[in-house]
Structure 1
Amino acid sequence: MSDRLCKINIADIDLTDERYKLYFSKEDITFLAQSIQESGLVCPPMVRRLNKKFIIVSGFNRIRALIYNSKAQDNKILVYEINPDATDEQCLVKSITAVSFHRQLTHFELILSAQRLNEFFDKEQIAKKSSAILNTKLNTSFVADLLTIGALPDPAIELIRLGNLSFKAAKRISLFEKETIKGFLDIFSSIRASQNKQLEIILHLMEITKRDGINSKDFFKKQEIQDILFDTKKEPGLKTNLFRDYLFEQRFPTIFKNRAMIREKISAMKLGNKIKFLPPENFDSKTYSISFTAKNHKEFLSNVQTLNSALENKALIEIFNQ
């Protein structure tokens, strides 16, 4: 017996059972509901009969949209009912392929899929079947990474879903002990940093604690860190910059002091708010960058004149001669 197209009562669907759900964003389904109302249901959801109810295998948003359009809970909707003899494994594969062959899976969805598939297959089997199920070819090592990250505490997986914790950063912190992992999750819950900045934060923090013989748990509790991360008046982006500066100062105090001195000298040059003169981005570089904005020729000329007058500025000479 194969899957069959049929109509079922909305009231017979168990909306609380989300075992097959991959995408957890509560996106607005108004437009989808309007599209279904005007153009019809292009692809019916898939459901599975279980304990006198139906559970959703794929099409969670479509069913939400259909309920949105319905005027009564006993309205019938068109669905694909999966073969009653289908196994849990077969239903799981259907739920994943319904998404993976519609669009590319996110890292969060790959992690979730690997975890669920691991209930039936080992990592070698998941890698072998990845093209047919996940619509992408994965090697065994990457599947192992997915499973390792999937074993992190739930807040880590949620941060990955939200885009606040990158895959590489998650892989890095998965190597640490429980308390250290928790500390990093607290940090990345409070800031908004790119993948490279997340990796930089992890590197700096671990190098500082190793150099100074400090327990990472105690380091996380430092008042300076707490004041930065949990200041509700500061935006996450500002917290990120302040926290990175703090870590850089702790790891490279001499370089940080030198940078601060350079910034003071740049400020003393009084170039104005339309000219940006920036010190090297890292301590290995000796390259400074300068840029300015201009809305017209007059502003352009003014900026050039300001820069020309700065050529003999003592602060500028000291910056390049140090």
Structure 2
Amino acid sequence: MTAMTFTDIPVSEVDLSDTGFRITEPCHDIEHLKSSISQYGIMVPPLVLCGQDKYIVVSGFRRIEGARHVGLSRITCRVMPAGENLDAAMAAVTENSFSRELTPAELIRATVLLLRFMDAHSIVKNATAIFNMPLNAGYINTLARIHAMPDTVLDLLDQGQISIKACKHLVSMEADTLAGFLHLFSKIKASLGIQMEIIAWAKEICALEKISLSRLIRESPLGITNGDEIGQGGSCFGHRDMGALGKQFKAFLAQRRFPALTAAKNKAREHIKDLELDSGLQLAVPENFEGIVYAMHMEFKNMDEFKTRLNRLAELADLNDFKSLVDR
């Protein structure tokens, strides 16, 4: 790594508009940082690279921005000599990756930054020293392909609304289909597992029914299009809970993709409702009805409640509704 010097430089000579080495998400909420700088100064000097007439930020964008906001005219920085771009890129990644775990979007930005100055093999060889974890060439190439997708992808990754694993399944899709999925995930929130189910089921439905993804989404209860219009479902997102919307859309896909299974699950729910179980008893059917093991969860506060629950369980064994549910 190139030697660096500690230098007191004018804040006005630092070019914050040059974000070539930035891997973190731009953050406009720096109130706490401003307060800290006002009281204690900048504890860790930012790292900058000498430019032709300005200093280029390598690490410490928020610290320098905070210094400007509180009115500091000069700031002590660690300064790297001009032209040391490879060392600057490695420093930008290392300073973040060894202070905390990189977010998925930061990992992608960091990888693409390094690929400007070194090949994938060199990154693999030095990954543990730069990223604080091992990487393989295939994964590095995948991250680069994700970075080449529309900018919306990094925004969704920053917001935690899509995962790298989901992006890997979207990266080779046609432009219209990709745009449809990205718009969808910008409006809903779902766990990794649900994201993968949504992608798989939506693709299968579109292939089986020979329809476009935009039409499928338009026909869903969400009723959205790429233009965020109100669709056939007669509703739009508005301020509705994004997590609930994700579950709602998944349920729509499940019913569309597996109508018989969905009908059976709904029928089972009605059977369980008809049993009028005590509040301390909860019956769970096998997931997707693929197994044969049922689960009965029982809660009780004392011995009397325990005996009451056992008596209720004994009564269930003689009910035809319970027998028809179990012996399906």
* TM-score range relative to shorter protein: 0.7 to 0.9
Q: Which amino acid aligns with 1:12?
A: E
Alignment of 1:82-121 (within 5 A): 82-83=80-81, 85-121=82-118
2:58 equivalent to 1:60: no
**1:269 paired residue number:** 275
8 Å contact 2:221–2:249 — kept in the other structure?
no
Q: Deviations over 1:1-22 (max 9, x none)?
A: 9421111222332333322221
**Bigger CA drift: 98-107 or 27-36?**
27-36
Q: Which amino acid aligns with 2:238?
A: T
**2:183 paired residue number:** 186
The Cα RMSD (Å) is: 2.7
Matches of 1:199 and 1:164, distance apart in 2? 12
TM-aligned CA deviation for residue 54 of structure 1: 2.5
| Residues 1:93 and 1:241: Cα distance change in structure 2 (over 3 Å) | same
TM-aligned CA deviation for residue 93 of structure 1: 2.1
TM-aligned CA deviation for residue 297 of structure 1: 6.1
Q: Which amino acid aligns with 1:80?
A: R
**Bigger CA drift: 296-305 or 101-110?**
296-305
Matches of 2:325 and 2:61, distance apart in 1? 61
Matches of 1:187 and 1:236, distance apart in 2? 11
SS at match of 1:7: strand
8 Å contact 2:49–2:79 — kept in the other structure?
yes
Count of matched residue pairs: 318
| Residues 1:196 and 1:98: Cα distance change in structure 2 (over 3 Å) | same
75, 78, 94: which one aligns with 1:77 = 75
Q: Deviations over 1:102-141 (max 9, x none)?
A: 2232221111112222222332333233233323221111
TM-aligned CA deviation for residue 38 of structure 1: 5.4
2:237 equivalent to 1:246: no
8 Å contact 1:180–1:217 — kept in the other structure?
yes
TM-aligned CA deviation for residue 28 of structure 1: 4.9
TM-score, normalization by structure 2? 0.85
2:199 equivalent to 1:205: no
2:15 equivalent to 1:14: yes
Matches of 2:306 and 2:243, distance apart in 1? 31
Matches of 1:155 and 1:298, distance apart in 2? 58
Q: Which amino acid aligns with 2:204?
A: E
TM-aligned CA deviation for residue 173 of structure 1: 1.2
| Residues 1:259 and 1:90: Cα distance change in structure 2 (over 3 Å) | same
**Bigger CA drift: 4-13 or 216-225?**
216-225
Alignment of 1:32-71 (within 5 A): 32-33=33-34, 35=36, 41-68=42-69, 70=70
Q: Which amino acid aligns with 1:78?
A: T
8 Å contact 1:96–1:133 — kept in the other structure?
yes
2:240 equivalent to 1:234: yes
**Bigger CA drift: 253-262 or 184-193?**
184-193
153, 164, 167: which one aligns with 2:164 = 167
Matches of 2:173 and 2:285, distance apart in 1? 34
TM-aligned CA deviation for residue 289 of structure 1: 2.7
Q: Which amino acid aligns with 2:12?
A: A
**Bigger CA drift: 110-119 or 284-293?**
284-293
**2:293 paired residue number:** 287
SS at match of 1:282: helix
2:254 equivalent to 1:257: no
User: Which ranges of structure 1 fall in alignment gaps of 5 or more residues?
Assistant: none
Percent identical residues? 28
Matches of 1:163 and 1:308, distance apart in 2? 47
Q: Deviations over 1:178-231 (max 9, x none)?
A: 111111112211221111111111111112222223333432332545249833
| Residues 1:212 and 1:283: Cα distance change in structure 2 (over 3 Å) | farther
User: Which ranges of structure 2 fall in alignment gaps of 5 or more residues?
Assistant: 224-232
2:133 equivalent to 1:136: yes
8 Å contact 2:187–2:237 — kept in the other structure?
no
Q: Which amino acid aligns with 2:75?
A: I
SS at match of 1:138: coil
Matches of 1:288 and 1:67, distance apart in 2? 63
